[in-house]
Amino acid sequence: MFLHGGPGYNSYSFRRTMGLSLEATTPVVYMDERGSGASERPLSKDYTLQAMAADVEGLRKALGVGKIIPLGHSFGGAVAATYASTFPSHVDLLILADAATNMPAVMGVWMDALKSTQPAAFASEQSSDAGKALAAVDPKTPAP
Amino acid sequence: MSTLMDVHRTVGRLDRSVARLEEGQKRLEERQTKLETKVELLAVRVDSLWSWRTKIGCGVIAVSAIWTLYQAAALAASTPVLAEQVRHDVVVDGVRIAYWTSQDIKPHRVPSRRPRLQQL
């Protein structure tokens, strides 16, 4: 099961490129994460990794598959790792491709980079929802 | 007497005409000679262009073109045909999640009705 990066991207590009080669050897499922691509945005605005891992689990159940192989690219790696740690009995293998498994640390690095390179834009975004969400991220939060 | 004079004048005009024609013919021959010289020079140039360097260059270009065509054909043969990927939806915790599968995967359970739309 392919989990795309972003967050906020979609599975299209992988689906139409590397996915075609993968499909020659194994069944592949491409999921658009909640709030991304063709999937809906949740009313609850719950975009936590746990919620996304629960989406993966819901899809696994819907497919009627006992075990899956999450293939997480970039941010999808964080979702895949969260899923593997939450539902280890349903994971056959875990594939992380250029994965950002420690998202809080990654967000911290992004924030530092934004502060230093775009200080005015960073300051102006502090009052926005995105700015508040970024400010709430604790880089010291352990990885899942 | 006047008739003889007319004949002389006529002969004189004919002589001048013949002289002009000969002069014109001479110019034409000169021009022809020049053109022939130019054609010969051009032939020499074309001949010099078709030197061994040119032949090698054309050979390299031909081999490159054939190699490129071969590579393109090999790439086209190895590229998988775009599979028919089917989109499905599943509702998890009230959120409609879209996913795609290759055609040979059939979802175990598909929502029978359109799920409640989430507020965008």
Question: Do A61 and A116 belong to one domain?
Answer: no
Task: Say whether residue A64 is in contact with chain B using an 8 A CB cutoff.
Answer: yes
pLDDT at A64 over 50: yes
Question: Do A6 and A49 belong to one domain?
Answer: yes
pLDDT at position A86, please?
93
Whichever domain contains A70, its CATH number is: 3.40.50.1820
pLDDT above 70 covers a percentage of chain A that reads: 92
Put simply, whether the predicted model's pTM sits higher than 0.95 gets the answer no
Question: Do A87 and A107 belong to one domain?
Answer: no
Question: Do A11 and A73 belong to one domain?
Answer: yes
Question: Do A107 and A74 belong to one domain?
Answer: no
Question: Do A124 and A91 belong to one domain?
Answer: no
pLDDT at position B80, please?
58
Task: Say whether residue A48 is in contact with chain B using an 8 A CB cutoff.
Answer: no
Q: Out of B94, B97, B110, name the one closest to residue A39 (CB).
A: B97
**Strand order through the sheet with A71-73:** A95-97, A71-73, A2-3, A29-31, B95-102, B85-92
| pLDDT tens by residue, B78-97 | 765 555 788 889 998 889 99
Task: Say whether residue A43 is in contact with chain B using an 8 A CB cutoff.
Answer: yes
Distance, in Å, from the CA atom of B88 to the CA atom of B77, rounded to the nearest integer, reads 30
| pLDDT tens by residue, A2-29 | 999 988 899 998 988 888 888 888 889 9
pLDDT at A134 over 80: no
Question: Do A83 and A133 belong to one domain?
Answer: no
Residue range of the domain that includes A111 = 103-137
CB atoms A11 and B104 under 8 Å: no
C-alpha A117 chain-centroid distance: 26
Question: Do A118 and A51 belong to one domain?
Answer: no
CB atoms B97 and A64 under 8 Å: no
Task: Say whether residue B120 is in contact with chain A using an 8 A CB cutoff.
Answer: yes
Q: Out of B100, B107, B115, name the one closest to residue A63 (CB).
A: B107
Taking CB atoms and an 8 Å cutoff, what residues of chain A touch B106? none
Question: Do A124 and A73 belong to one domain?
Answer: no
- b/e for A32-53, b at 16 or more Cβ within 10 A? bbbbbbebbebeeeebebebbb
> In the structure, what pLDDT confidence band is assigned to residue A67 with cuts at 50, 70 and 90?
very high
| pLDDT tens by residue, A68-116 | 999 999 999 999 999 999 999 999 999 999 888 777 777 778 788 888 8
Q: Out of A38, A54, A63, name the one closest to residue B98 (CB).
A: A38
pLDDT at position A55, please?
94
> In the structure, what pLDDT confidence band is assigned to residue A118 with cuts at 50, 70 and 90?
confident
Taking CB atoms and an 8 Å cutoff, what residues of chain B touch A50? none
Question: Do A54 and A122 belong to one domain?
Answer: no
pLDDT at A33 over 80: yes
Residue-by-residue pLDDT tens, chain B, 120 positions: 678 888 999 999 999 999 999 999 999 999 999 999 999 888 888 887 778 888 899 999 999 999 999 988 888 777 655 557 888 899 988 899 999 987 655 544 444 444 455 544
Taking CB atoms and an 8 Å cutoff, what residues of chain B touch A32? 97-99
pLDDT at position B81, please?
59
Task: Say whether residue B109 is in contact with chain A using an 8 A CB cutoff.
Answer: yes
C-alpha A92 chain-centroid distance: 19
Residue B91, Cβ density class (10 Å: 0-12 exposed, 13-18 middle, ≥19 buried): middle
Task: Say whether residue A36 is in contact with chain B using an 8 A CB cutoff.
Answer: no
Question: Do A83 and A116 belong to one domain?
Answer: no
Is A144 within a domain?
A: no
